[in-house]
Chain A
Amino acid sequence: MNDDLVAQVRNALREVIDPELGHNIVDLGFIYDITVVDGTAHITMTATTPGCPASGFLKDGAFRSASRVVGIDSVDVLMTFEPAWKPSMIEPATKALLGFP
Chain B
Amino acid sequence: MIGGNLTKWTMSYFAVAIVWLIIGECLMTIGFGFPFAATEAPDTLFVVHIVCIGWLSMAMCGALFQFVPVLVAKPLFADSWQLPALMLLTVGLVALLGGFMVLGGHLPVWLWLLPTAALLLVAGFGLVVTDLAITIWRARASIGPAYFVIAGLCSLCATAALGSAFAWSLAGLGGASALLRSGIPLHAIAGLGGWLTLTAMGVSYRLLAMFMLAPDLDKRRIRTTLFAGSATIGLVVAGGLFAIAREIGINVVLISAGCLGFITLALYGRNIISLYWRRERAQLELNAKMSAWGFVSLAAAVLLAAVLAISGSFQTHVEAFAFLVAFGWLSGLVLAKLYKIVAFLTWLETYGPVLGRSATPRVQDLVIERRAAKWFVAYFISVWSGTAALLLGQSAAFQVAAFAMAVATLGIVQQLIRTRRLADVTGPLRLPGGSRAPHLLYASI
Contact = CB atoms under 8 A, between A and B. Distances in A.
A56 interface: yes
A49 to B, nearest CB: 5
B355 A64 contact: yes
A73 interface: no
Contact of A55 (B3, B6, B282, B351): B3
Contacts of A60: 352-353, 355-356
A69 B275 CA distance: 41
A16 interface: yes
Given A57-B348, A81-B2, A99-B283, A15 B210 contact: no
Give the residue among A20, A53, A61, A64 with the most B Cβ atoms within 10 A.
A53
B356 A53 contact: no
Contacts of B344: 19-20, 53
Interface in B159-215: 209-211, 213
Given A17-B360, A19-B362, A99-B282, A52 B4 contact: yes
A57 B352 contact: yes
Interface string A10-22: 0000011101111
B73 interface: yes
Nearest to A58: B355
A89 to B, nearest CB: 11
B221 interface: no
Contact of B3 (A52, A62, A100, A101): A52
B83 interface: no
B73 A50 contact: yes
Interface string B343-369: 011011001110111011011110000
Contacts of A87: 213, 280
A7 interface: no
A21 B69 CA distance: 22
Nearest to B343: A19
A64 B356 contact: yes
Interface string A62-101: 1111000000000000010100000100000000001111
Nearest to A54: B348
B408 interface: no
B356 A65 contact: yes
A26 to B, nearest CB: 12
A87 B425 CA distance: 28
A77 B398 CA distance: 58
Contacts of A64: 355-357
A87 B72 CA distance: 22
Interface in B1-17: 2-6
24 contacts: A16-B355, A19-B351, A19-B362, A20-B344, A22-B362, A22-B364, A47-B3, A49-B210, A51-B73, A52-B4, A53-B345, A54-B348, A56-B4, A57-B353, A57-B355, A58-B3, A59-B3, A60-B352, A60-B353, A60-B356, A65-B356, A79-B2, A81-B2, A87-B213
Interface of A: 15-17, 19-22, 47-65, 79, 81, 87, 98-101
Interface residues of B, number: 36
Contacts of B365: 22
User: Which 7 pairs between the two chains have the least Cβ-Cβ distance?
Assistant: A56-B3, A61-B355, A61-B356, A57-B352, A51-B73, A22-B362, A55-B3
Contacts of A56: 2-5, 352
Contacts of B347: 19
Nearest to A78: B2
B1 to A, nearest CB: 8
A52 B210 contact: yes
Contacts of A49: 70, 209-210
Given A51-B69, A64-B357, 17 more contacts: A19-B347, A19-B348, A22-B365, A48-B213, A50-B73, A53-B66, A53-B69, A53-B348, A54-B3, A55-B3, A56-B3, A57-B348, A57-B355, A60-B355, A79-B2, A100-B281, A101-B280
B71 interface: yes
Contacts of B69: 51, 53
Contacts of A22: 362-365
A58 B351 CA distance: 11
A99 to B, nearest CB: 5
Contacts of A16: 355-356
Contacts of B4: 51-53, 55-56
Interface string B64-96: 001001111110000000000000000000000
A64 B259 CA distance: 56
Contacts of B71: 51
B360 A19 contact: yes
Contacts of A19: 344, 347-348, 351-352, 360, 362-363
Contacts of B363: 19-20, 22
A22 B6 CA distance: 20
